[in-house]
Structure 1
Amino acid sequence: MRNNRAMSTGPHRIAVLALHQVVGLDLGTPSQVFSTARAADGTPFYDVRVCTPGGRPVRSTAGFQVVPDHGLELLDTAETVIVPGIHDGTALTAGTVEPEVTEALRAAYERGARIMSICTGAFVLAAAGLLDGRRATTHWAYAERFRRLHDRVDLDPGVLFIADDRVLTSAGVAAGIDLCLHVIRLDHGSEVANRAARRCVMPPWRDGGQAQYIEQPVPKATDTSTAGAREWARQRLHEPIALRDLAEQARMSVRTFTRRFRSETGLSPAQWLLQQRTDHARLLLETTDLTVDQIAHRCGFGTTAALRQQLHQRIGVAPSTYRRTFHPRPELVES
């Protein structure tokens, strides 16, 4: 359900806790992403600030020092606390953090704050005892180390992010952006999250359950691509689209197109098309008053039953339930 914290007076207060050897990209991600989430009149929805233990400078992995404006007292009033990844320290080597950090994180959680981690920031949350008995994720390269140190955590390193009640964890690097966009979506709906994604030049949505990209080579750039065919298909989701139609748009044989399509997207054409139709249906459920039957036809599913099946398979809810969660006027929900 949409987060009630989004309805508090003034911008939602976010504290980013930077520790020794904080990952530079992870540190900047919350400020960059959440600052793009604004109301139609430009009013910011979030106030993001950085703190460290004692307000002391900490070294980042990117070759610069972080000189914060705040100490751990920032966590006393934060509505969301985010711990970016780290590349050194006892959280990674021994599964422990300073008592003052543990106390501040646990106190924030116990008074109702949302707690998040990016990449190896999950080691800090686990060391503070906030992940015991929960599902969580971290960068796949650190999975075995995490399991050795924290066997009471249900680790799943094969996903981009996991939300377990008020504790959210994400995988490495860009997955932190996905998690921040997910939170904006929960707090303020799809339109705000999509605008934020566009400002960040990011896809508006990658499911948390999508696999991390583990040791997969990046395809070499070529003069030919399936991008044009994909854009052609996006404009015609309401129509029947066959594999041969896509191949013809790319001026390739079906065999060549299928091979190149998978190398560029990681999906088969059929899987990708189903994903696009489901994503478009979600957008229409969130932003329009169309009936579920109308949405099913506009997205190329043909029947309400087909849309219901795909939506349930992908995110585990029925169309009406999804609309109740994300539509700004839930009273318009139809069965």
Structure 2
Amino acid sequence: MFNDPISPKASATRPLRFGIVLLPNFTLTAFSGFVDVLRLASDESDMSRHVRCSWTIVGESLVPVRASCGIQVTPWTTFDEAGSFDYVVVVGGLLHSGPPASKATIQFIHDAAATSATLVGICTGVFALMRAEVMDGYRMCVSWFHYWDFVERFPGVDERNLVADRLFVIDRRRITCSGGRASIDVAAAILLRHFEATIVQKALRIMLVDDAQKGNAPQPYPPGLEPATHPKVRRAILLMEQHIGQPLCMAELARRLEMSVRQIERLFTVQTGKSPQAYARQIRIRMASWLLTSSDRTVADIASSCGFSDASHLGREFRKEFGESPNAYRVARPPSQTHAFADA
């Protein structure tokens, strides 16, 4: 089923072989980003032949696997019939919806670890690697968003081995990735172990990616929020972002979090150094600043979309934050320099 060790700069006599396991409710971006790097690096131009790389979707059966967005992908072969692989890639997704990875899937991952194949966990694929008991002694990348989910599910894990502030981690024959766009970066990093840089760069250029991020690049999580932030605070921030136009009052926010107003205020201050109201205001100001430089919408329209009563209200809050009016901010920052929402 698996293979003998391969040396760096893969032999031209056969493709570099990837077996890809899709878990229930896998994230389509993580899967497609990874595969497209393989596809474009494998052949000349975008002909997509399995020349330098081959990739096979493997599963317990040939029953289609549903992605979190509803699209279904049918495995090409079963675990029992799969050939040899140099890399076994496990693509995860939603944790709290749908069935977990099956026993057969966990056994397949466990068996792969006993060979020379390198195991790759993308997005929440690292959860399946942990269930398969193949991560002892390895450092692993976990998305900041799922850090507490991971700790709660695997209370015996050595937290010194958890990396929740980087895009991906390569530790010997274990590679783990936070997911999303980082799947492109980790695919590029893997291929650079075997192929010339020009081959990988060609693939990235076709995908309109300027350059692959290195593993030590930071995960983009909300400003002021650490990877280990309490899950209730994470949920509160997501609710704030989802209700920017019509902000939730403190009583409603606390109700949705199943906490008292006093509890959420105390927890927020400890975790972020700000009150919930101040943090929500910062989110709304960041969104307004981004809209000012990335759209031609009026200040009044932006004010309404970001939960301010009118343009004057936005103007007062904007001056407190940036020291200038919304119009002056827009004029001073042309669209090509738009980084306000990410960096504010």
**Out of 77, 96, 113, which is 1:109 matched to?**
113
Partner amino acid, structure 1, of 2:144: W
Cα 1:40–1:172 shift into 2, 3 Å: closer
In structure 2, what is the Cα distance between the partners aligned to 1:53 and 1:182?
Answer: 28
- Judge conservation of contact 1:22–1:59 (CA < 8 Å) in 2: yes
Match of 1:49 in 2: 56
- Judge conservation of contact 1:162–1:168 (CA < 8 Å) in 2: yes
In structure 2, what is the Cα distance between the partners aligned to 1:165 and 1:112?
Answer: 11
- Judge conservation of contact 2:61–2:75 (CA < 8 Å) in 1: no
In structure 1, what is the Cα distance between the partners aligned to 2:189 and 2:292?
Answer: 30
Cα 1:103–1:31 shift into 2, 3 Å: same
In structure 2, what is the Cα distance between the partners aligned to 1:261 and 1:156?
Answer: 29
- Judge conservation of contact 2:119–2:173 (CA < 8 Å) in 1: yes
Match of 1:199 in 2: 206
The alignment-based identity, stated in percent, is: 20
**Out of 31, 34, 57, which is 2:35 matched to?**
31
- Judge conservation of contact 2:20–2:91 (CA < 8 Å) in 1: yes
Match of 2:77 in 1: 70
Q: Quote the offset at 1:108 in angstroms.
A: 1.8
Count matched residues. Answer: 232
- Judge conservation of contact 1:114–1:166 (CA < 8 Å) in 2: yes
Partner amino acid, structure 2, of 1:68: P
Partner amino acid, structure 2, of 1:183: I
Cα 1:75–1:103 shift into 2, 3 Å: farther
Q: TM-score, structure 2 length as denominator? A: 0.59
- The yes-or-no answer on 1:122 pairing with 2:116 is no
In structure 2, what is the Cα distance between the partners aligned to 1:74 and 1:173?
Answer: 30
In structure 2, what is the Cα distance between the partners aligned to 1:49 and 1:221?
Answer: 45
Q: Quote the offset at 1:98 in angstroms.
A: 3.3
- Judge conservation of contact 1:15–1:74 (CA < 8 Å) in 2: no
- The yes-or-no answer on 1:131 pairing with 2:138 is no
Segments of 5+ residues of structure 1 without an aligned counterpart are 225-255, 268-335
Partner amino acid, structure 1, of 2:63: R
Residues 1-335 of structure 1 mapped to structure 2, 5 A cutoff: 3-4=7-8, 6-7=10-11, 9-38=13-42, 44-73=51-80, 76-88=83-95, 97-150=101-154, 151-153=156-158, 154-216=161-223, 219-220=290-291, 222=293, 263=340
In structure 2, what is the Cα distance between the partners aligned to 1:113 and 1:128?
Answer: 15
In structure 1, what is the Cα distance between the partners aligned to 2:82 and 2:343?
Answer: 40
In structure 1, what is the Cα distance between the partners aligned to 2:184 and 2:34?
Answer: 8
- Judge conservation of contact 1:55–1:72 (CA < 8 Å) in 2: no
Q: Deviations over 1:211-262 (max 9, x none)?
A: 10002567346279xxxxxxxxxxxxxxxxxxxxxxxxxxxxxxx78xx686
Q: TM-score, structure 1 length as denominator? A: 0.61
The Cα RMSD (Å) is 3.2
In structure 1, what is the Cα distance between the partners aligned to 2:55 and 2:292?
Answer: 38
Which of 1 and 2 has greater Rg?
2
- Judge conservation of contact 1:37–1:195 (CA < 8 Å) in 2: yes
- Judge conservation of contact 2:23–2:101 (CA < 8 Å) in 1: no
Partner amino acid, structure 2, of 1:157: A
1:158 match: secondary structure: coil
2:32 match: secondary structure: helix
